[in-house]
Amino acid sequence: MNNRLNEILEEIRVLEKTVQEEIRRKEEEFQYKIRKRKVIFEKDVLRIQRTFSRGLVKYILGAKPLNVLSAPVIYLMIIPAFLMDGCMTLYQFLCFPLYGIPRVKRREHIVLDRHYLKYLNVIERFNCDYCSYFNGLASYISEIGARTEQYWCPVKHASGKARPHSRYHHFVDYGDAEAYRKKLAELRKMFEDAD
C-alpha cells in the first residue's frame, strides 16, 4: 500500500495539521482562549468587536427579499438533520462495539462557537451556528461512514473522483485482489490512529 497516492494523502494530513497550528496562532493574534470548549475573549477585544456589530433592524432591512423568502426552507432542514444525527449516533453506539471500531466523537465534529463573536448580531450568530451544525454533522457522518467503509470494504475507487476521507489512505488499491484478501482482517482492526 506504499504508493504515490498514499504519499499524497499523507502530505494532505500533514497540511491539515499545519492548518490547525495556524488556527492556534490566531488565538494569540485575536486574543482569545478556549477553556472547556468555551471561547473567552479579552474585554478590550469584545469592546472593539461590538463596534463592528450591525444592528438588527439595519440587518433585516438590508436583507435581500429572496434570502428572507428562502429562510423557512433552510430552517426546516433542521428536522431531517436532527433525525440523521440521531440515527447515525445510534448506529455507531450499537454497531461499532460489535466490530471493534472506535466511536466517533461527535463534539470533535460539531463545533458551535460562533455565537461568542460580538461583531455578529443575534440573527448572524444563529445562522453561523446553524451552518456550523450542518457542516459539523456532515463531517461527523463522513467519519462514521469512513470507519464503516474501512471495516466492510476498504478498497479505493477506480475513477479517483471520490473525495478521500480520513480512513482512505488505509484502503487497498482498486483491482488489487491479492492485497484485499491478505489485508482485510488487518484493516478491520487498524483504528489505532482514529481519534
Q: What is the pLDDT along the chain (195 residues), one digit of tens a residue?
A: 457 878 887 888 888 888 888 877 877 777 777 787 788 787 887 778 888 888 888 888 888 999 899 999 999 999 999 999 999 999 999 999 999 999 999 999 998 988 888 888 899 999 999 999 999 999 999 999 999 999 999 998 888 766 778 888 788 878 777 888 888 889 989 898 886
Give the DSSP H or E segment for 140.
Answer: helix 122-152
125: CB partners within 8 A, 6+ apart: 114, 115, 117
Amino acid at 161: K
pTM of the predicted structure, to 2 decimals: 0.78
Residues whose CB falls within 8 Å of the CB of residue 148, separated by 6 or more in sequence, listed in order:
95, 101
Fill in the DSSP letter of residue 155.
B
